[in-house]
Amino acid sequence: MDDALKILVLEDVATDAELMLRALRRSGVRYRARVVASEADFRRGLDEFEPDIILSDFALPDFDGMSALRMARARRPDTPFVFVSGTIGEERAVETLKEGASDYVIKSGLQRLPLAVQKALEAQRLRAAKRETDEALRDSEARYRGIVKSVMECIITVDERQRIVVFNPAAEQVFGRSREEMLGQPLGALIPERFRARHEEHIRAFAATGHTSRSMGRYGLIYGLRASGEEFPIEATISQTGTGRNRLFTVILRDITERMRVEQALRGHTEQLRRLSHRLFEAEESERRRLARELHDSIGQNVTALTMNLNMVRGELPADWLQKVAAQLNDCETLLYSTGQLVRNVMIDLRPPGLDELGLLAALTEHARQVAARSGIPVTVSGTEIAPRLPPATEITLFRIAQEALMNVAKHARATEAAIALEAGPDKVIMTLSDNGCGFDAAAHLSRVSISLGMVSMRERAEAIGGRLRVESAPGRGTRVTVETPRANHNSANQPHLPGIEAV
């Protein structure tokens, strides 16, 4: 049973807990379970049982599910948490997801519980892999900085005939040659034969310029030659002193073999991190689509059915009865209408229907209209629909960035107007979002947590499709967010990567 899933179940009704576990057993899940019903037992379960996943009711006599969620996030932040309840409403369910819950399942639909558990565990594994990659990246960066600080530079001086007159101990170590061996030898002895003639010409050309110093890498990567015959990349600068027969050229160089290896490893880690981020965003969008479908198929259809039933009841009631309950019937109709609108708004936030059917510009235009209606801030959208259409991942990413940026405008900008511009070139797409609000100090934006988290989310989304995010803002001068992304699919082998976020 060592590989069995450890499940902590917070449920005060024993039969309900058994039904949950039975649903998992039927789907083939191997597990060890601990069922608790009180706050104290739940706390002990977190600390002693160390669960792989938590299943929790929402309403308990002495302890509510939201408190359990917050406790779990404080003590075991990486453990997936799934609500299984028959009383949770749709608004509260969305609130639990925002608070950190992995999913929620209605008790009347326990057949979906195994899938919810599987998806929660998969998302948790992706986050763990992302953290490991982040740690590896930080370790690599630390090693890189340590290497750069500890490398001893080689100093080699040659005369006007390019004969070596100074060969320091670091050069002895790097080239594997002694000072006595190298004094009086041509500098070309330390350079692969195929590069010697060109290198000698570069030094003569440098002498003619009269410049005191210059990087030797301006014509491309240069190589040194060890005594063993091994070639290795170097980074070097050259300087000159004196004139005529007294002229000396000093080369200061370092072996960058290890640095290039680390840089290559960093590029690999960065690419791996970008792919993991892309998978996380894909999982998020998949879950959004699933939730939108469930809202449409369950809540939406129920609201429609209730409305029809209510109209049937109204039509069947005698006139005197109808007069007595008219006010209550009208209230019911109003509540059903507002509930339907709420469900529709949540569905649109989860997955904009116009994006799949009409394209990015149409989806942005509709979303801008909704933001303007809710916030009172006019939002204009300009540009033309992009043809051929962008890859689906690029379209939804640009839409989510616009969604986040407009949310920041509505919450923080105190703006009177905002604008979205979509521009497509042969190789790239540029989306710009601007407002005339209060602005902020972009260099110090980390002090505003809500804005900072939003920018991090936008940056990671842009990087996941090979794009670049730029934020320009200053107090009293509004804010401009620019996203530049390739038109082609970012997974293409020839696709350039433009990482990062700039704050101006």
Strand boundaries in 86-153, DSSP class E: 103-106
* 190, HSE (Cβ side, Cα atoms, 13 Å): 32
Q: How many other C-beta atoms can be found within 10 angstroms of the C-beta atom of residue 56? A: 26
Tell which CATH classification among 3.40.50.2300, 3.30.800.10, 3.40.50.1240, 3.90.280.10 matches the domain 5-128.
Answer: 3.40.50.2300
Pairing relation of β-strands 164-167 and 418-424? Answer: unpaired
* Amino acid present at 249: F
Residues 457-468: pLDDT tens digits? 788 888 888 899
Residue with the bigger pLDDT between 448 and 5: it is: 5
State the pLDDT at residue 64. 86
CA dist 240 to 157, 179, 203, 243, 251, Å? 9, 21, 10, 9, 9
State the pLDDT at residue 348. 66
Residues 253-293: pLDDT tens digits? 888 888 888 888 887 777 777 677 667 666 766 676 677 66
151-255 fold: Beta-Lactamase (3.30.450)
pTM above 0.75, yes or no: no
State the pLDDT at residue 453. 64
Structure tokens at 338: 């507002």
State the pLDDT at residue 150. 45
Strand boundaries in 60-183, DSSP class E: 81-85, 103-106, 154-158, 164-167
> Looking at residues 461-486, what average pLDDT do you find?
90
Q: Are 251 and 238 contacting, i.e. CB atoms less than 8 angstroms apart?
A: yes
Q: Is the pLDDT confidence value at 4 over 50?
A: yes
Q: Is the pLDDT confidence value at 500 over 60?
A: no
Residue with the bigger pLDDT between 331 and 380: it is: 380
Residue-wise over 335-346: b if at least 16 C-beta within 10 A, else e?
A: ebeebbebbeeb
Band of the pLDDT at 104, cuts 50, 70, 90?
confident
Q: Are 158 and 188 contacting, i.e. CB atoms less than 8 angstroms apart?
A: no
Residue with tokens 């990413």, as numbered in its chain:
397
The pLDDT > 70 percentage for the chain reads 86
Q: Is the pLDDT confidence value at 203 over 80?
A: yes
Q: Is the pLDDT confidence value at 352 over 60?
A: yes
Band of the pLDDT at 443, cuts 50, 70, 90?
low
354-503 fold: Heat Shock Protein 90 (3.30.565)
Residues 400-438: pLDDT tens digits? 899 889 989 999 899 999 999 999 988 999 999 999 999
Q: Is the pLDDT confidence value at 51 over 50?
A: yes
Q: Are 23 and 84 contacting, i.e. CB atoms less than 8 angstroms apart?
A: no
Q: Is the pLDDT confidence value at 99 over 80?
A: yes
